[in-house]
Structure 1
Amino acid sequence: MANQSVLTHVNGGVATVLLNRPEALNAMHQALRSELVAALQALKSDASVRAVVLSGKGRAFSAGLDFNELQGAAALVAANGIVGQQLLDEIAAFDRPIIAAVNGFAMTGGLELALLCDVIIASEDAVFADTHAKLGIVPGWGVTQRLPRAIGIYRAKEMSLTGRKVDAQLAYDWGLVNRVTARDQLIAEAQAMAEQMAQADHSAQSTIRELMDLGWEAPIESGLEQEQQASLVAFQRFAKAQQSSS
C-alpha cells in the first residue's frame, strides 16, 4: 500500500525492512514507529527469518524523531515517558541480527536507531550526526552510552556537543561503521552479509550475540537509566516553557 510507512520484504532467511517516509527523510513519527514495531513482531514470529536488513527509502536512513510531532507532544512526553519506548523494547528483545544499511542521513534519533543494530554498513554518501544538544533535547534512546563505546568518549563528545556531521569515510575511520560501499550496492551488500548470518547455527549465533552484548553493555544499564531520567526532566521543562509562551 502506498501509505505504508514501513515496507517489509522477505527472501529466504533474510528480511529487508525499509522506512518509507522519503519526503520527510524517514523521520519517525508515531505511525512509522508503530508500523516498525509491528513489522519486527511479525518477523520475530516467522522462524524462517534469520536476519534483518534495516534501511530507508530516498535520501535518508532516518532524520530521527519527527520534531514537529515531538513539539506538539511535549506535555504528553513529560507525563508519560520516553517517546518510542515500545520500539526500543522491541529491538532489544529481537533475537536475530539486524544490519543497519545507512543510506544518506542518519541524524539524531536516526543515528540512535543505527546504533541499536548489530552491524552498520554505510553508503558513500552517508552522513551521521547527533543534534540533540543543538535542538535543546536530551537524548533518550541510548546515544550518550552507545556512541562513546563505539568510537571513544572524546570523539563522541565532539559529535554530540557540536552537532557536527560525520561523513561515511570518517565514520569508518572512527569505527562507527563496519564498511562503506557504493550507494547502488548498499542493500545488496547488506543482504549478502545477512545471508551469511542466516546460514549460521541459530542457537550458537544467538548465544554469542547475547554474550557479546552483555559484555559490551554490562555497565550501560545505569547510564541508560540516568539518560532517560534526564530526558524526562528536560521534556518537562520544555512543556512548561511551551505553556508559558502560549
Structure 2
Amino acid sequence: MPFKTLLFSKQDTIAVITLNRPPMNALNSKVYKELGKVIDELNEDSSVKVVIVTGAGEKAFAAGADITEMVNLSTTEMHEFCLISQDAYNKFEQLNKPTIAAINGLALGGGCELAMTCDFRLASENARFGQPEINLGIIPGGGGTQRLPRLIGLARAKELLYLGDMIDAVTAEKYGLVNKVVKQSELMNEAMAMAKKLASKPAVAMKVLKNTVNNGVEMNITSATNFETNSFLVTFSSEDRLEGMKALLEKRKPNFSDK
C-alpha cells in the first residue's frame, strides 16, 4: 500500500501505521484521505488482528491540523475538510479490530482527536496532550468536544477545551486519557507487547466485543444489555467458543481458528 503521508508495515498479525510528515506530523486533507483508505483496506484484511498508529520522529505524534492549509480556506472548503477528517476519525474508531495509539511527543488538536479514536493510548514520558483550538478562535472539529468528555468526564474536558492548555503524560494518565506512560525508548516495545497479547485473542469475539462496547455505551441500560445479549449469542455460535470452553475443561491452551 503506497502512501505519501503515511508509512505502513505488518509484523505477523500486527499492522503499524506511522504518520510521516516530520517534524510535527501535521494533519492535512491528504493525511486524512490516506488514513481513511488504509482503514478501509485493514477492515477487509483478516490477516491483521491489531493496529498500532504512531508518529514519525521524536517531536510529535501529531501536533494538530495543518494550519498552513486551513488558514486560507473558505467556510465551504473548511466544511469539506471537516467532513474528510471526521470520516477518517470515525473509520478509525469503528475499525473491526483493536487499535493502539503509541504517542511520542505532542498530541494536540487533531492529533489528540486521532488518539482518542483508538481503543488504547500508550504515551512516552515526553508526550503532551491538548485541545488548543480556543487559542486560535475556533473549537475542535474532529470530535474533540464529544470524545474527550466521554473519556475523562465533563469537568476535566471543559478544563482542557476552555483553557486550551497542554497537559503532560502523567497528568493525562491521571485523567484517564492515557492507559499507560512508559519510557520514550520503550514506547514501541510496549505497544507491540500489548498488540501481541491482543492478537492472541479470538478474532470473532474481539470484533463483536469492540462493537458491543462502542455502540452499547451510547444506549440506555435496557437497550444496551439487550444488545449485549444478542452480541453474546453471536460469539456463542462461533467455533472459537467451543474450542475455548473445551480447552478450559481439558486444562490446555486454546487453539483459536478465528471462526
TM-score by length of 1: 0.82
CA positional deviation for 1:88: 2.6
CA positional deviation for 1:81: 6.7
Alignment of 1:43-58 (within 5 A): 43-58=42-57
Distance 1:37 1:79, change over 3 A: closer
> 171-180 or 87-96: which moved more?
87-96
Partner of 1:7: 7
Residues 100-145 of structure 1: per-residue CA shift (max 9 Å, x gap) = 1111000011111111110000000000011111111222222112
Partner of 1:30: 29
Unmatched 5+ residue regions in structure 1?
Answer: 220-246
Residues 39-88 of structure 1: per-residue CA shift (max 9 Å, x gap) = 22222222110000000011111012111111222333356472413313
Does 1:141 pair with 2:142?
A: yes
Q: Is the 8 A contact 2:19 2:55 kept in 1?
A: yes
Partner of 2:123: 122
Q: Secondary structure at the match of 1:200?
A: coil
> What is the percent sequence identity of the aligned residues?
37
How big is the alpha-carbon RMSD for the aligned residues of Structure 1 and Structure 2?
2.0
In structure 1, what is the Cα distance between the partners aligned to 2:123 and 2:183? Answer: 8
Give the residue type in structure 2 aligned to 1:82.
C
Unmatched 5+ residue regions in structure 2?
Answer: 221-259
Residues 186-227 of structure 1: per-residue CA shift (max 9 Å, x gap) = 1111111111111111111111111111233348xxxxxxxx
Higher relative contact order (CA 8 A, sep 6+): 1
Alignment of 1:165-176 (within 5 A): 165-176=166-177
In structure 2, what is the Cα distance between the partners aligned to 1:2 and 1:47? Answer: 20
Q: Secondary structure at the match of 1:82?
A: helix
TM-score by length of 2: 0.79
**Corresponding residue pairs, total:** 218
In structure 2, what is the Cα distance between the partners aligned to 1:101 and 1:216? Answer: 25
Does 1:39 pair with 2:53?
A: no
